[in-house]
Structures are given as C-alpha cells and as structure tokens.
Chains A and B, each alone.
Chain A
Amino acid sequence: MSGRLLTLVLLIGLLGSAFTLAPQIGALHLPGNQQGYEPVQPIAFSHRLHAGEMQVACLYCHSGAESSRHAGIPSAGVCMNCHQFVNAPLGALRAEEELAKKEGRKPRRIISPELQKLYDAMALGADLKSDPRKTPTPIAWTKVHNVPDFVYFDHRPHVATGVACQSCHGPVETMDRVAQVQPLTMGWCVNCHRQANLVGVAGKKVNASIDCSRCHY
C-alpha cells in the first residue's frame, strides 16, 4: 500500500515539474544545452554591422582570446577608440545634413540612442568630455556563450592553432543580436577534438586532447 502511495506522490511530483516547464516548451533542449539562446543586450550592439559590414577583426575587441583563458568583452574604452568620432549611423548623419541645409543652419551633432548608453556608462557629457556630475557605471552584458563552472575552456590554444572563431560561435558577423548557434555540449566538444586529431586544423596536424582533465579540474 505504502509503495502505491509513494509511486503516486512521485508521479505527481514529476507531472508538476513538467507542468512548470510547459510554458517554455518551445525552448526545451537537452539539459545543459543552450542552443538558440539569444538574450537582449543592454546596448543593441550589432556584430553584423561591425564584424560583417565594417570588417572589424574579432580580435580587435576580443583581444583576450590570444593571451588569456577568456576572450573577454571589450571595455567601454575600446568602443571609444572609434566612437569618440563616430556618434551616429551614416544615414542619420546624412538626414541631419540635408535637414540643416534645408533649414539653413549648421548641422547639429547627432548621437544615436544606443551610443548614448555607452556615453552615459562612461559618464560623458554632451560634448563627449568627462562629466563630473555623472557616475561611471560599467555595462552589464548578458553572457551568451556560457559553459558550466566545472568546465575550464581556454581560448588560447584554439586561437593559436587557428580554429576559426565561427567554428564555435557561428556566423557572428551576420547576426544583429548574437545567438548561440552550436550546442556547446561536451559531446560536441569531444567530437570536434576527435575530428581535429584525424584531419588536423587549418592544414596542420594537431594533438587535441580528449582527456577529462583537459577541461575538468
């Protein structure tokens, strides 16, 4: 009798957890798989524009990938290398110029609303100089490609070997908002390592370890 009761209780528990998950049924994946994750970022930064159209090299902003475990998200200072000069899209600038010509005045400085968020974070005033009345606030980006804490992935050997960024991160240069394309599961990692040992990377023979302690320690 008590066995029946136990089964019943457990069954209800199982159904309960299924029920709580029902609303996100479309997003269901195998545990640990975040494929397709595409969070909204605090600033609508477009990789399509920067890496695609403008052809900015990945390593220009994510320079840590060469020298550190983490590729890193660029500091706002790196953005300012260009964006102290570039304040708005070309289209908006042209439109303002035309409007100014029409109204017979000097064109005003146009700042795109997304870039304004960057300037606010840096505590810059309207003249793009440091404004002491504002407080600098770091930008809290949402991580897209995130492996669990017990995985010690390291960018350095991959970059040094010549693995293209896109092999793991997908065609980022075509994305306005970055989404996770690959599953980033252990099976996926190990398959790639096995494949690399068979056919090499970028024409070179490699020794891609599949030891557990390559990533887990």
Chain B
Amino acid sequence: MGENSPKRYWKSLEELEPGFDAPHDEFPEPLDGPVTQFDRRGFLKAAGFTVAAATLVGCGRAPVEKAIPFLVQPETTVPGRAYFYASTCAACSAGCGLLVKNRDGRPIKLEGCPEHPSSRGGLCAVGQAALLGLYDSLRLRQPLAGGKPSTWEEVDREILAKLTTLRSSGGAVRFLSGTITSPTTRALLERFLKQFPDARHVVYDPLSSSAILDAHEQTHGVRALPRFRFDRAVVIAGFDADFLGTWISPVEFTSGYRAGRALEANPPRLSYHVQFEPRMSLTGTKADRRWRVAPDEIGIALTHLAARVAKLAGAAFSVAGLAASPVPAAFLDELAQRLWEARGRSLVICGSQDIAAQVLANFLNHLLGNYGATVDLERPSYQRQGNDRDLQTLLGELESGRVAALFIAGVNPVYELPGGSKLAYVLKQASLVVSFAERLDEASSLAHYVCPDHHFLESWGDAEATSGTVSLFQPALQPLGKTRAMVESLAAWSGKPQPAYDILREHWQANIFPRQHRERSFEAFWDRSVHDGYAEVEPRREQGKTFRFNAVRPILSSARTSAGAFALVLYPKVGMLDGRHAQNAWLQELPDPVTKVTWDNYACLSPAAAARLGVKEGDVVRLEAGPGNAVLELPVYLQPGQQDGVVAVALGYGRQGTERFTKVAPRWIWARPGVGENSLVGVNAAPLLELAGGCLRYTRSEVRLTKTGATRALAATQKHHSLTVPQNIPLLGGERRDMVRETTWPTFLRNLAEAKHAAPAAQEDLWPADHAFPVHKWGMAVDLNACTGCSACVIACQAENNIPVVGKDEVRRQREMHWMRIDRYYSGSDDLDVVHQPMFCCQCDNAPCETVCPVLATVHSDEGLNQQVYNRCVGTRYCANNCPYKVRRFNWFDYARDDRLQNLALNPDLSVRSRGVMEKCTFCVQRIQEAKIEARRQGKEMADGAIQTACQQSCPAQAILFGDLNDPKSRLSQALRSPRNFRVLAEFNFRPAVGYLTLVRNRAEDQKEKHNG
C-alpha cells in the first residue's frame, strides 16, 4: 500500500505482521509432483496415439437417445419452458415471498417475489438453499411407528386409539412447536387441542426473542413483537442485535435498512447506525460506529443512554449507583442528542434476552416517540411467538412425568435446548410422543410416531408473518414421498379428515376473506391471492395500553466475569441459524460472512485474548462453564473486533444427520475426512445455553478456556483468491490503489456537488479498442454501500449455475468452486472497519485470461462477455494464474453427483462441468440468452431490467445491478456515472465491466481524507 493511502486494508491477521509477504501462487500445493521416467517424447507419442484412437472411436454412431413425450400433455406445461409460481418461504419463520421457478414439473430455483410487501424481492441464503432440502434423500418417505416404516392408516388408527383413552382419562396433552405463523394451522391446532380436557400449545423459538415480547407485556400490556421499520429510521442504535444477519427477519430488515441508505436517491439519504456488541456480527460490520461491549455490559450501556435521553425528554429516571459506562460518555452524549433530534425517526434495537434490558429499549423508543413510527406495535410481527416461561413450565411437567402425550412440530428440543440429554431420557419414558419432523433427528428418533410433514414446496399453506399480510404457499410439485401435511394429520385426529387444500380454502373463506374489501367474490379473491402469493388484509390490531413507566428499572451493575474467565456468547451463523438446515451441503459450505470459515464451528477469540491464553488459530481449547455443564472442545478462531473478554461459539453445529458429509468430498488418495472426530460437522454448543428467569439466554459469564494441545485446521476461505499486486510491478506514477474504497458522508456530499458541474474526464487509451460491441455491452454495478455481506448471492449463484459442493478438505486446499465470493476487508486496528466486496468475473475487455489460453477456450463475445467454452477447455489453468481478480475455478474432480434425487435441483439450462475444466461467472449467460430470445420471439426490444442475474435477483439490499452499458439511459449506465464509481485494479487497464460504488460512512471527515481529497 502506498504511503498516501488513507487506510490500510487487510483480510487476515497475518498481513498485519511485520515482514508479511503476499503469497505469489494462487494454488497452495507444490507444483513438483512425483518424478517419473516418462520423457517428453514419450508423452507426446502417447498423447498423439490416444487422440488418434479417440477420434477413430468418435467416428462411430453416438449412443441412441430416447425422447418420451407425455401421453396427454397438461395444458399449462410446455417441455423446456420455465414457469414461476408465487409462494412463501418457510425456511425460517420470517415468511418472505417466493417465486418458484419450475421446469418440467419440478422446482429448480427459488427467487424472491418482488411484489411481496415485506421481503420486496430479496431472499436470503437459507431461503435459496431450501431447494436442496426439498431433494434431500434422507427426508422421511413414510410415517414411522416405533422407528419402523408404517402406513398412514395404521399410524392414524393407533394414535386415535391412544387419543381416545387420553380424552377419557384426562391426561395432559402438550403440543410443542416453533413459531407458527399460519392462521389456518393455528385454528386447526386449537380445534385439535380442544378435544382434550388438559391440553396446551407451547411455543418456543430456538433463536428466541421471548424477552422482547415479555418486555412489551410489562411496558405496554400486550405480549407482542412489534414490527421494526428500518426504512423509516434515520438514526439506529443497535444493542447486540444482528438484524442484518440472523435476527428475526433479516431480509425484511435489510431491505428497510437499505431504503434508509439510498445514496442514489435525490436527495441522497444515509441513516446513522451505531452498534454495541460483544462479537463481530454482520450488522456490526455495516455500522457507522461500532463499540465492543461485553455481553454483561449491554444493559449498563442502555441505562446510560436511557438516562441521557430521559434528561433530554424531561422524564424522571433515577440512575443512582450506576456502574461506569463501557462506552465513552462523550459519545453517548452525542448519540443521545442525535436520537433526540431524530425523534419519531430513530430506532433503538436490542437483541438481548434480558427482559430488563428490553424494557429499557422500549423506554428509549417510547421517550423518542418511535412507537407508531419506527416501532409498530399496533400491526405487530408474528415472526417470533415463543414464550420461554411456558417452555420452562413444560420442561418441569415433562420431568415430573405429568405429560401423557407430547406432540413436537418444527423444533428439535433434544438438540436445541440446554439439558437436551436429560430431555431425551424423559421423552423415552413418556407414553405418547408424536413428531412431525421431516427427517430423523435427535428428537424424532425418540418419538413413538413420526408423521413427516411435507416440505413447504410440496404443500398448501399460509403464513401471516406480519399483521395484515397473509402469504400463501402453493405446492410446486407432487410430494416426493408418502408424507402428509401437518394440518391433514391434525384434521384426521380431530375426527374430520380433509385435504390441506380444502382446509386452507375453508379457513380463508371464513376468516381471511372477510378481512379484505377489494374483491367481492371469494373465488376472485382466492385466485388473486394464489397468483400474487399473498393478500393484504385488514390487520389484526393489538391494543397496546399507555406506557407503564413503573415497569422501567435501570440496570445499575452486572455480575462481572472474573479475571481469567471469559463471557460466552452463543450466536447463530448466517447459513446455519439454529441448525435446522445442518443437512444442507450448500449452507455448510457457505463461508461465514465475517469469519469466512466453512464446515465448522469454533471458539472466536480476540487476538489479544488469544495471546493471553497462548493459543493461535486452529489450537483446540476446552471450554468449561462450571460443574454440571457440558464441556466443549473447539478450535480457536481469531476474530479481530471482538471484545477481549468474550468467547463466541456458533450454534447449529454437531447435528445428527451431518454424518452424511463424510462422503461429500471427492475420494482420492490424499483426501482427509470432512467431518470432526465425532463424525459430525462441528460441535453442538446448545448444552451451554441457559434457560433461566423465563428466558433462553445466549450469553453466560464465568467460562474458562484451557489449551488442550491438539489442533484442528479450519477450512477458512479468507486468504484464498486474494487480490495482490506484486511490489515489483511498475505502475504509472507509482500509484497503488486500494481494492475497496470508502469515504465519509460530508466528503461524498461535496464530491457529488462538484461532480454535477465537472465534465467526465476523457480517457486516453494506448491499447486499441479491438472489440466492437454493436448491440449490447453487458456490465454490472456493485454498490459497496448497500452490500451487507449477507451471502444470499453466493447461494443464489450456486443454485443457478450448478456449482458443486467440494467438502471441507477441498476447501482447505483452496479448491472451493463458488463463482461468487465476498471479500471481507478489515481496516484500522482498534475501531475496526469492515468492507464487504462481492467479487466475481469482471468480464474485462482487455482480459488477461484470454491472451494466455492456448486453445481459445476463453474468448470475448460481441456483447462484452468473457466467454468460457467448457468443451474447448483442456485445463491448462493458465487463465486462472493470469486472472487478476482470482475468480476462475478449476474442476479438480468430477464432484459428487451420485445422489440422483439431489440432481433434480440442477438447472437444466446450463452444463454440469466435468473434471479438468475451468469455469467462472458468466453473468448468468443462460438468463441473457433467454431474455434475448423471448424479446425476439415477442418482436420487442429488450427492456432495461429484463435480465436479472441470479445474484442480483436474490440481493435483499439491491446492491447488484446488471444492465446494458451501450444504453446510456439504462439504470446501470446511470449508476456508473455516479462519482462513487471506481473499478478494481483500474491502474492495470483491464477495463472490467463491473463497476464498484464506494462505501460511504456516516461520520465526520477524518484528517487524512481531507488531506487526500
């Protein structure tokens, strides 16, 4: 980096060490292989003969191929044509809108539904990957009775017999589920439970937000989760809430957050976001100011802020005896002032599971007048309904043997709850346990009956995730096995068996239809709702009472962790969440957006804490939380930006069923196992959760770490495919520019004003423009300011482009196949800043890869694409070595495609590449061709925006824009005229077709930047 560079960016801690030398080779393995006696002449001879023989054999007839048409073709199906059906995602309880792309009777891709009022076209990584879950060969194909395959008739008969006895004996029936947003399921469940004298529905969320609901019960008298409107907020204070990554409804929140940070708008908007958190979360990486605060100090920081805001509001709030603030007082003064100035347009968000802290957050939002504006309690969200107090009661009942029948739906208490092993023992004693799990897991393998539910893509259903928006599920294919929708099971056991479709329609006719006024007839309303995938109806209003000030208590001090011990933070990862998708290979191989580690969980420690313990990355530590608690052994990961007294461990790992990944990697002589010693992926950290004080807690104090001496290598991609400019390359003016750029809000505004008057600088180019682009020239813009690093695009690309999964060992060898990666750069040391930069083939006009290919397998197209012709490629890998952006991926193996069911998820519109072939991002050329052909077929001009690449489509933050650079009026051309536009490695004149838009931070200009201008 040059002396004049204002910031120094780095990706891994090694780069900060003195004497660090960037690796010169792209591939880490040594080049000198085993020496043989085979000489050059012999090799050429053998190659020549082989080619001759292969040619000769190729002269024969090709194998016979059959074409088998329908006997009677369904009216709405044309073989080879894709159809989109609107539906809803049930991969978590956020309920985002979906468009299911169907080809020849099966879904091949999930996309966000652009019209859906909450998700607005985005779809997260987990939602995208739900497609692979549909084609999971380990999903149950039929009901199980006592662990053995059975039939529905038999299971129904036996369960009904047991239920009849229960009805007369009055035994306790408990229905344990996760949040159920479906109004129909809830109604049916009510009807089912009504049959029994002692029946209760207990809801808990493995990623609980129970404290928020409880706090609102205390302050507003309604147990509800408000809907947070980030789109209306201009000042956001986040307290340990990862709302852009994993918290409640990330797609909806990201889309709202993005709306508040629209720099392309006129006038430009940029909200001010402050984050207080113990570990580096995805949301923290986007914050304008970020403070490292230990988990036990979150409440104290909130109290300090509340005291200041109360003073500004003139409200009484006594904080005598308050412990010192973990954040400088001057900063809190400033933040309180900014929040106060943005009354009604500010937002205080707290992710803590401490009810007192949540009450304080409510207090702040109330003082700031945010209720009814950015915090909507009247039209609440139903995305989290868990009640951890109920759960605690139920666990007590179970232990005392009071529960006669337990139904488990959508959750896995044995795995997800502390004391799961004890619970497993209890479940074995129970007289009737029925599970609706889709596959055998820790809990369902203990159930007497497993009545597998459909995958959500196979089933009718509905969801009211936020009050007033009811989304519909419609089946996109016939169920793959003899599974049955849970509502059908419940209906059968309530004495009124009915198909799910009829149940749903009846409920809608009786309950949803009267809540709308647009359509007169139910048929028309139903048809429109099925077409749109959702219906906007009269919201169910919650009548919150006036704010009860007497509920507010300051948090004056906290149980401090003693010296030498750590505070533990258990957190969900973007791909893995609570572990419900742990069997999904795409999500396992998705690099964590912050740590960039795949296929594992680990103990995150700050570099200082690791130095104190004397451990380095990959060293296994033993994590002890006092007597009676589980002991975990985890490898260490060094996470800059983490609070020094904190160890953070991801939940969702070590799940039963991940044994399958022993076989995911290619089998060859140097292959190493892809799973841990427990033959699972990662270690389950849930036993260290605490269910105390009516809340499931994700933090605890007094955790001790000891070095075990063992090591476990992590499969981290952060140092892979690094953009490095060798020091010895002479550059014009000796200037080395950063890969990512950022600026501050005042500088941006000044530049914008200047750019309005300045004429664009004419570019002189010594290189002849030897490519003509007569019709289109495709390009892309990536807005670093909008990108949150959420990695939805990575999975969208994987699903669209048939990208194989390579397994942990191959990732360790730097052979991951993702065409799209998100480079995460750190800068600074104490106040760590993070930039996420999506990186994929930039389709350079002067492409270095094209000039080195000996067989012309990569050439430039008339539309500016850098084409990769798989059938020409002979695998020299020269192009990958010469690629400055390190975006080319080589097929070292024929990756596993032997699961024929899983192969149904493949996109039939492009090839599955074989071993020895180079591949890379094509700008989704199959979508470009499809849109061009459709335009020609309909005799129309190509409209701007008619082509959306997979990554662009899925992006909840609309950070990616694809379009035609030849059209000066296209949205892309306009975006790239912004003064924020820069090209990565522009100094080399590769002329990439991808422009990046500078990140803007909402903070004062720093001195250096002023100096640099």
Interface residues of chain A, those whose CB is within 8 Å of chain B, are 2-3, 6-7, 10-11, 13-14, 17-18, 20-21, 24, 27-32, 34, 37, 39, 63-64, 66-70, 72-78, 121-122, 136, 138-143, 146, 148-150, 152, 154, 156-157, 160-161, 207, 209, 211-214, 216-217
Contacts and interface: CB of A to CB of B under 8 A. Distances in A.
Contact of B66 (A69, A143, A154): A143
A21 B60 contact: yes
B66 A217 contact: no
Given A6-B45, A138-B71, A152-B909, A21 B65 contact: no
B803 to A, nearest CB: 14
Contacts of B49: 10-11, 13-14
A141 B45 contact: no
Interface residues of B, number: 56
B48 to A, nearest CB: 8
Interface string B910-929: 11000000000010011001
A160 B939 contact: yes
Contact of A150 (B52, B58, B911, B939): B911
B79 A72 contact: yes
Given A30-B59, A160-B937, 13 more contacts: A10-B49, A14-B53, A27-B61, A32-B62, A68-B78, A68-B81, A74-B69, A75-B72, A122-B71, A141-B67, A150-B871, A213-B867, A216-B867
Nearest to A71: B80
A28 B60 contact: yes
A212 B936 contact: no
A76 B55 CA distance: 39
A61 B755 CA distance: 60
Interface of B: 37, 41-42, 45-46, 49-50, 52-53, 55-62, 64-73, 78-81, 774-775, 859, 861-863, 865, 867, 869-872, 909-911, 922, 925-926, 929, 932-934, 936-937, 939
Contacts of B937: 66-67, 156-157, 160
Contacts of B872: 212
Contacts of A21: 56-57, 59-60
A149 B906 CA distance: 14
A24 B37 CA distance: 39
Nearest to A154: B933
Classify the secondary structure of B's interface with A. loop
Given A72-B80, A157-B937, A211-B861, A14 B56 contact: yes
A138 B73 CA distance: 11
A215 B718 CA distance: 35
A29 to B, nearest CB: 6
26 contacts: A6-B42, A10-B45, A17-B53, A21-B57, A27-B60, A31-B58, A32-B62, A34-B62, A67-B937, A70-B80, A72-B80, A75-B69, A75-B73, A77-B73, A136-B71, A138-B69, A141-B66, A142-B66, A143-B64, A156-B933, A156-B934, A156-B936, A209-B862, A212-B867, A212-B869, A213-B861
Given A3-B42, A156-B936, A217 B53 contact: no
A20 B61 CA distance: 13
Contacts, number: 167
Nearest to A206: B936
A158 B861 CA distance: 20
Q: Which 4 A-B pairs have the closest CB atoms?
A: A31-B58, A10-B49, A77-B72, A211-B861
B60 A214 contact: no
Contacts of A211: 861-863, 865, 867
Contact of A139 (B59, B69, B73, B909): B69
Contacts of A150: 870-871, 911
A66 B775 CA distance: 24
B46 A76 contact: no
A217 B939 CA distance: 25
B911 A217 contact: yes
Nearest to A32: B58
Contacts of A149: 911
Given A7-B45, A10-B45, A70-B80, A141 B68 contact: yes
B869 A143 contact: no
Contacts of A18: 56
